Amino acid sequence: MSGKNVTEVVPADAEGIAKAVRILALGGIVAVPTETVYGLAARADKAEAVAKIYAAKGRPDFNPLIVHVRDVDQAKRFGEFDGASEDVAGGEWPGPLTLVVPVADNAPIARAVTAGLPSIALRVPNHAVMRAVLEKCDFPLAAPSANRSGFISPTSAAHVKASLDGRIDLILDGGATQAGLESTILAIRADGTWQVLRPGPVSEAYLAETYFGGRSASGAELNAKLEAPGQLASHYAPGKPVRLNAIEPRADEFMIGFGAVSGDCMLSEHSLEEAAARLYDCLHQSAASAKPRIAVAPIPNDGVGAAINDRLSRAAAD
Ligand code: AMP
Ligand code: MG
């Protein structure tokens, strides 16, 4: 199992999914495609299984994990929902939105999953493969991105293999992921206040408008760092200096282009959604290139652009 040098990659067909479910039930760790990025899944109710995620990723253990469930009913066994969180869950699930809510009393969850916090992060993913796996598991799955901690998130089975080969039990290959960026994380608190802890495919402006009567987030007095301790400044690192808002590459730079600014890897000529879906692939290419530095074109901050800029600023932080 996790000690082997080579990790098997299998197609995400019925046979592959059945194999993944068997490994997960026994407490193993499996990379599974979701609509955001590939996740590294383990059963969230067993401490030994969850510990394997931290070991394989080299993830700091103060960094809690998102728990993936098959539907709202299953989510309610683990988190306390109120009117606001029910509305958001009802409207956005399945989808790329994670809800942080108070953890339910006696929730059958390994302590390491919440890192001892009084809250739990829950999501119903919208990807046929991850959903098929969850349908067949009678336990929820903790699943952070399937990469070594601090490095670029994987949007293909090949990315997972390059990062975690020999450290995990199986990779389910379901092709390239759709959204390409990690889920938006939204905290809703018992006092009715809310806050986006991590920008993502579902924008803050849309959430404010749709669920909070246009009220803006009211978390200013709260310490988002404490609430979402995993949001480290340096993250998604390609291992080379990254220069943002570049209009033209210098001679030693691999250029990531957008819009009218062309590049060695093009995010998109006009679509921020396409740019989000391609971001990590371009970052992987830039990391693998012979050029020692990376430059990235300006990205507008509208909609999912805010999430792209969040990830880019972390990739550029040292
Ligand atoms: P990921 O690395 O995509 O698995 O996202 C995990 C992030 O979700 C963590 O770094 C936290 O910021 C956030 N998170 C997970 N669990 C919790 C929790 N119980 N309370 C607050 N934030 C959480
Ligand atoms: Mg990650």
pLDDT tens digits along 290-313 = 999 999 999 999 999 999 999 999
Do 21 and 136 touch, CB atoms closer than 8 A?
Answer: yes
Q: Report CA(149)–ligand 2 centroid distance (Å).
A: 7
Instruction: Look up residue 226 and give its DSSP letter.
Output: H
Strand arrangement, sheet containing 242-243: 242-243, 293-296, 253-257, 265-266
Task: Write out the E strands in the chain.
Answer: 9-11, 30-33, 38-43, 67-68, 97-102, 119-123, 141-142, 170-173, 184-188, 194-198, 242-243, 253-257, 265-266, 293-296
Look at ligand 1, atom 3, and give the residue with the nearest C-alpha.
Answer: 144
Q: Check if 63 has its Cβ closer than 6 Å to any atom of ligand 1.
A: yes
- CB of 141 closer than 6 angstroms to any ligand 1 atom: no
64 CA distance to ligand 1 middle (Å): 5
The confidence score (pLDDT) of residue 221 equals: 42
Cα 300 to Cα 206: distance, rounded to the nearest angstrom: 17
Q: How far apart are CA 177 and CA 181, in angstroms?
A: 9
pLDDT digits (tens, 9 = 90+) for 42-63: 999 999 999 999 999 998 877 8
Q: Is 101 in the pocket of ligand 1 (CB under 6 A)?
A: no
Query: pLDDT at position 227, please?
Result: 53
Average pLDDT per block of 10 residues along the chain, 318 residues long: 76 98 98 97 98 94 92 97 96 98 95 92 98 98 95 95 97 93 93 90 95 76 50 75 97 98 97 96 96 98 95 90
Distance CA 50, CA 65 (A): 9
**pLDDT at residue 41, as a whole number:** 98
pLDDT of residue 222: 47
Residue 94, ligand 1, Cβ within 6 A: no
Residues, Cβ < 5 Å to ion ligand 2:
145
DSSP of 232-263: -SS-S--SS-EE-S-SS--TTEEEEEBTTB--
- Supply the pLDDT for residue 216: 76
pLDDT of residue 71: 98
Determine the pLDDT at residue 296. Answer: 98
Structure tokens at 51: 């510990």
pLDDT of residue 116: 87
As a whole number of angstroms, the distance between CA 3 and CA 175 comes to 26
